[in-house]
């Protein structure tokens, strides 16, 4: 593309750099098979070639961007690996990765402000009976519950779930996934549990991807658009994990790594088995709400406007179930007046 001046407005990268020296990245100039052999016979030379290729890769993207392309990174540690390879100028501050990179990750640029700030993330369910008709019934229930006029995300969700069977994406387990917010997840889960209770379908397992609003701390991806400096902290996923355990989820997991690499992310996963009991209704209401709104709250505390709106709406709707603290901007002028008056202008 660069050599032939091919114009491309949008470019991205999903190279598996979370394991860059273990085979996730094959250097330019050698085949995949040659790369496997080189790892086994001369690991140091393989690493050298990876570093050289990463910097070449970076320079090509930089060249394309000067020609008008817009680049964003998926977040599989490509830009962090370029930095480690020696091209420190890819970091915003040119010194370390604490302030991110010269190009955004797609969570920073797209997913964060459009989805995560509002609590939308990958909500999954599996019909444990293995029956196609159970999956169809859950699809129909979801179509009835999702209001396509609520917002653009739910318009997309409604279209996706109403046409899901046509796409023939189900392989093996009878599973479905869509991007739902806290309100949507709770509604769907309660409906499915009612259907199990009434004998309409067999048991259903709920879950989500770790690539969600609360379950993962990863400054290069999931927490990339949290702007108060806490994006590098790893406490949210742990709080989410512990809260899910306390609220009775069937399965809760906390792990190091995932799609960004060991030491670069903390990921939490969970599952709830809907058995039709009233107990599971209570777990759904408490646990699913916690699982989503903890991450939205963190984004609100960083003053992400969409998250502030989402938390304010949650507070209005759940006045008897707790409250999420809402940040208020500091009046700098008033603060300086107080300091000057109390401390006599001392510096």
Give per-residue pLDDT as tens, 43-71: 999 999 999 999 999 999 999 999 999 99
- pLDDT attached to residue 346: 54
- pLDDT attached to residue 3: 94
Residues 131 and 29 in one domain: no
- pLDDT attached to residue 336: 85
Specify whether the CB–CB gap between 213 and 296 falls below 8 A. Answer: yes
Q: Kindly indicate the confidence band of residue 14, based on its pLDDT and cuts at 50, 70 and 90.
A: confident
Residues 117 and 170 in one domain: yes
Does 211 fall in a domain?
yes
Residues 56 and 180 in one domain: no
Q: Kindly indicate the confidence band of residue 341, based on its pLDDT and cuts at 50, 70 and 90.
A: confident
Q: Kindly indicate the confidence band of residue 171, based on its pLDDT and cuts at 50, 70 and 90.
A: low
Residues 311 and 222 in one domain: yes
pLDDT higher than 90, residue 291? yes
Provide the mean pLDDT of the chain: 91
Does 55 fall in a domain?
yes
Residues 145 and 245 in one domain: yes
Q: Domain range holding 14? A: 10-103
Q: pLDDT tens-digit profile of 101-132?
A: 999 888 888 899 999 999 999 999 999 999 99
C-alpha closest to that of 224 among 238, 209, 213: 213
Specify whether the CB–CB gap between 206 and 175 falls below 8 A. Answer: no
C-alpha closest to that of 211 among 167, 259, 148, 256: 259
Q: Kindly indicate the confidence band of residue 322, based on its pLDDT and cuts at 50, 70 and 90.
A: confident
Specify whether the CB–CB gap between 219 and 247 falls below 8 A. Answer: no
Which residue did the predictor score with more confidence, 231 or 40? 40
pLDDT higher than 90, residue 173? no
Last residue of a domain, one of 55, 82, 103: 103
Q: Percentage of the chain surpassing pLDDT 70?
A: 98
pLDDT higher than 70, residue 347? no
Between helices 132-145 and 152-162, what is the axis angle to 10°?
150
pLDDT higher than 80, residue 250? yes
Which residue did the predictor score with more confidence, 56 or 342? 56
Residues 235 and 199 in one domain: yes
Return the CATH number at 40.
3.40.50.10730
C-alpha neighbours within 13 Å on the C-beta side of residue 283 = 21
Q: pLDDT tens-digit profile of 144-154?
A: 999 999 999 99
What radius of gyration do the chain's Cα atoms show? 23
C-alpha closest to that of 281 among 180, 189, 183: 189
- pLDDT attached to residue 342: 63
Does 339 fall in a domain?
no
Question: What is the spatial distance between Cα 314 and Cα 316, in angstroms, rounded to a whole number?
Answer: 5
Residues 181 and 273 in one domain: yes
pLDDT higher than 60, residue 239? yes
Last residue of a domain, one of 62, 81, 103: 103
The model's pTM is 0.86
pLDDT higher than 60, residue 313? yes
Residues 154 and 69 in one domain: no
Q: Kindly indicate the confidence band of residue 176, based on its pLDDT and cuts at 50, 70 and 90.
A: very high
Residues 49 and 130 in one domain: no
Phi-psi region of 211 (alpha: psi -120 to 50; beta: other; left: phi over 0): beta
Count: domains in the chain: 2
Residues 90 and 117 in one domain: no
11 phi/psi in degrees, rounded to 5: -135, 150
- pLDDT attached to residue 170: 81
Return the CATH number at 148.
3.40.1770.10
Tell me the mean pLDDT in the region 196-202: 98
Question: What is the spatial distance between Cα 78 and Cα 192, in angstroms, rounded to a whole number?
Answer: 40
- pLDDT attached to residue 343: 62
**HEC sequence for the chain:** CCCCCCCCCEEEECCCHHHHHHHHCCCCCCCHHHHHHHHHHCHHHHHHHHHHHHHHHHHHHHHHHHCCCEEEECCCCHHHHHHHCCCHHHECCCCCCCCCECCCEHHHHHHHHHCHHHCCEEEEEEECCCCHHHHHHHHHHHHHHCCCCCCHHHHHHHHHHHCHHHHCCCCCCEEEEEEECHHHHHHHHHHHHHHHHCCCCCCEEEEECCCCCCCEECCCCCCCCCCCCHHHCCCHHHHHHHHHHHCCCCEEEEEECHHHCCCCCEEEEEEEEECCCHHHHHHHHHHHHHHHHHHHHHHHHCCCHHHHHHHHHHHHHCCCCCCCCCCCCCCHHHHHHHHHHHHCCCC
Residues 154 and 253 in one domain: yes
CA dihedral 55, 59, 64, 70 (to 10 degrees): 60
Question: What is the spatial distance between Cα 338 and Cα 341, in angstroms, rounded to a whole number?
Answer: 5
Residues 161 and 141 in one domain: yes
Specify whether the CB–CB gap between 12 and 75 falls below 8 A. Answer: no
């Amino acid at each position: 593309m660069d050599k032939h001046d091919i114009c491309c407005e949008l470019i991205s990268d999903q190279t598996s750099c979370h394991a860059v020296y273990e085979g996730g990245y094959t250097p330019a100039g050698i085949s995949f098979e040659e790369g496997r052999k080189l790892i086994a016979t001369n690991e140091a030379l393989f690493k050298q070639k990876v570093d050289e290729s990463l910097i070449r890769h970076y320079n090509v993207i930089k060249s394309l961007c000067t020609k008008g392309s817009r680049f964003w990174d998926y977040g599989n540690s490509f830009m962090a690996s370029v930095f480690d390879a020696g091209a420190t100028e890819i970091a915003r501050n040119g010194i370390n990765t604490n302030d991110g990179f010269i190009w955004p990750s797609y969570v920073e640029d797209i997913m964060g402000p459009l989805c995560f700030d509002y609590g939308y993330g990958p909500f999954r369910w599996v019909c444990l009976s293995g029956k196609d008709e159970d999956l169809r019934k859950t699809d129909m229930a979801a179509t009835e519950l999702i209001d396509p006029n609520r917002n653009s995300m739910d318009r997309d969700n409604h279209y996706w779930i109403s046409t899901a069977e046509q796409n023939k994406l189900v392989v093996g387990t009878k599973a479905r996934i869509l991007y739902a917010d806290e309100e949507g997840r709770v509604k769907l889960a309660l409906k499915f549990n009612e259907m199990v209770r009434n004998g309409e379908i067999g048991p259903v397992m709920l879950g989500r991807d770790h690539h969600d609003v609360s379950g993962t701390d990863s400054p290069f991806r999931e927490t990339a658009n949290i702007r108060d400096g806490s994006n590098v902290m790893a406490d949210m996923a742990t709080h989410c994990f512990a809260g899910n355990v306390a609220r009775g989820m069937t399965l809760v997991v906390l792990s190091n790594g995932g799609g960004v690499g060991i030491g670069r992310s903390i990921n939490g996963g969970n599952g709830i088995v809907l058995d039709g009991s009233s107990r599971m209704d209570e777990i759904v209401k408490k646990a699913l709400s916690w699982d989503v709104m903890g991450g939205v709250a963190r984004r609100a505390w960083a003053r992400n406007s969409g998250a502030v709106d989402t938390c304010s709406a949650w507070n209005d709707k759940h006045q008897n179930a707790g409250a999420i603290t809402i940040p208020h901007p500091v009046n700098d002028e008033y603060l300086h007046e107080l300091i000057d008056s109390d401390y006599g202008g001392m510096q």
